[in-house]
């Protein structure tokens, strides 16, 4: 049964846009889940990316978008706009090529929805590709499909995902992660990056680049696949605030000799206990934590242009020399300091 298209409307006043499968070539169905409290951009971002293919001549069947919910009809998003959906019963699991589970504040109620979780569980093994956007990773985690796989969610919730599901290898710095046929992306707008990567996988680099240009976005974000939030993720993961004072002290003394022995003494722990506890609470080694804070410091200095040259920035951020800072930037952000300044300085 052809799905209803989405209405992004206030009080359901907007006209719907219909995405029907081509009569000549069967389209691959992309089923995007909707639920009360879903983040609008988690749905509309990937949907707009996929919809742009309608104007491009493709070498293979394109996509047919289905927006599905438990009962169908209008579903309120987190910003009050409504999405018109089809009931999940109208889309059989074997019809789904790609399943996308978005996030949003309403995500936590889904675990208790037996009908929806059953449909998801039935669809997962049949779909060629499954993906989550932002907090949608928790839905995939509840099904067990992420066990033993790499995954990501919004950086603020990466620690919670890791603590709740230790079998998952959470990568808190990534914009999106592909592990086999299972994809996951970081917060909100990262769903656009994920959708572009899917198009690149299915139709090649040239078409994906064409779509990115039409949307006036980067095919791959400057800085590579990084959320630009390593330090914030580390701080957020320390839910008990055990290392908050230490992080503040590190930032205040960022250019000092911050070897692990110094940090352990500052934290009032033995070296071994400190190293183990820090990794458990932040997901990083102490050395990586210091490096992330130095990258964050250097990043802010480069953005502000208050410091003249890259060499001086490296010195003030505690890297010692610009080559060491360049390697750290490539590890954390996938871009050199000079390139970062060109793209992001004010």
How far, rounded to the nearest angstrom, does the alpha carbon of residue 96 sit from its chain's CA centroid?
22
What's residue 98's pLDDT? 98
Domain ranges (residues) in the chain: 28-215, 230-344
Of all helices (H) and strands (E), which one includes residue 290? helix 286-304
What's residue 34's pLDDT? 97
Residue 188 near residue 39, CB atoms below 8 Å: yes
Class of domain 230-344: mainly alpha
What's residue 237's pLDDT? 54
Provide the 8-state DSSP code for 188. T
Q: What tens-digit pLDDT sequence spans the chain (346 residues)?
A: 434 444 443 333 333 333 343 344 579 999 999 999 999 999 999 999 999 999 899 998 999 999 999 999 999 999 999 999 999 999 999 999 999 999 999 999 999 999 999 999 999 999 999 999 999 999 999 999 999 999 999 988 999 999 999 999 998 878 899 999 999 999 889 999 999 999 999 999 889 888 988 998 876 665 444 555 455 455 545 555 678 889 889 988 999 999 999 999 999 999 999 999 999 888 889 999 999 899 988 988 887 766 778 999 999 999 999 999 999 998 887 789 998 888 766 5
What's residue 331's pLDDT? 85
Topology of the domain covering 28-215: Rossmann fold (3.40.50)
Backbone φ/ψ region at 194: left (φ over 0), alpha (ψ -120 to 50), beta: alpha
What's residue 21's pLDDT? 38
């Amino acid at each position: 049964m052809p799905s209803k298209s989405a209405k992004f409307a206030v009080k359901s006043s907007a006209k719907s846009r219909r995405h029907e499968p081509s009569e000549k070539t069967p389209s691959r169905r992309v089923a995007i889940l909707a639920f009360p409290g879903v983040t609008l951009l988690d749905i509309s971002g990937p949907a707009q990316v996929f919809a742009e293919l309608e104007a491009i001549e493709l070498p293979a069947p394109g996509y047919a978008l289905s927006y599905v919910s438990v009962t169908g009809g209008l579903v309120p998003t987190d910003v009050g706009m409504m999405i018109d959906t089809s009931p999940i019963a109208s889309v059989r699991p074997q019809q789904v090529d790609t399943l996308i589970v978005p996030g949003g504040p309403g995500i936590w109620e889904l675990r208790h929805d037996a009908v929806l979780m059953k449909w998801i569980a039935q669809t997962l093994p049949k779909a060629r590709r499954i993906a989550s956007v932002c907090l949608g990773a928790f839905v995939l985690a509840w099904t067990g499909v992420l066990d033993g796989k790499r995954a990501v969610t919004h950086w603020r919730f990466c620690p919670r995902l890791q603590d709740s599901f230790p079998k998952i290898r959470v990568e808190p710095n990534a914009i999106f992660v592909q592990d086999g046929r299972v994809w996951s992306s970081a917060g909100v707008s990262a769903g656009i990056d994920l959708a572009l990567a899917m198009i690149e996988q299915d139709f090649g680099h040239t078409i994906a680049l064409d779509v990115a240009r039409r949307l006036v976005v980067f095919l791959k974000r400057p800085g590579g696949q990084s959320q630009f939030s390593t330090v914030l993720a580390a701080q957020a993961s320390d839910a008990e605030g055990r290392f908050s004072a230490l992080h503040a002290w590190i930032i205040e003394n960022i250019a000092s000799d911050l070897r692990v022995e110094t940090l352990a003494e500052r934290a009032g722990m033995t070296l071994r206990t400190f190293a183990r506890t820090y990794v458990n609470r932040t997901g990083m080694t102490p050395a990586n934590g210091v490096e992330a804070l130095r990258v964050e410091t250097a990043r802010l200095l480069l953005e502000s242009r208050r410091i003249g040259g890259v060499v001086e920035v490296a010195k003030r951020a505690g890297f010692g020399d610009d080559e060491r800072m360049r390697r750290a930037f490539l590890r954390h952000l996938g871009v050199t300091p000079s390139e970062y300044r060109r793209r992001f300085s004010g």
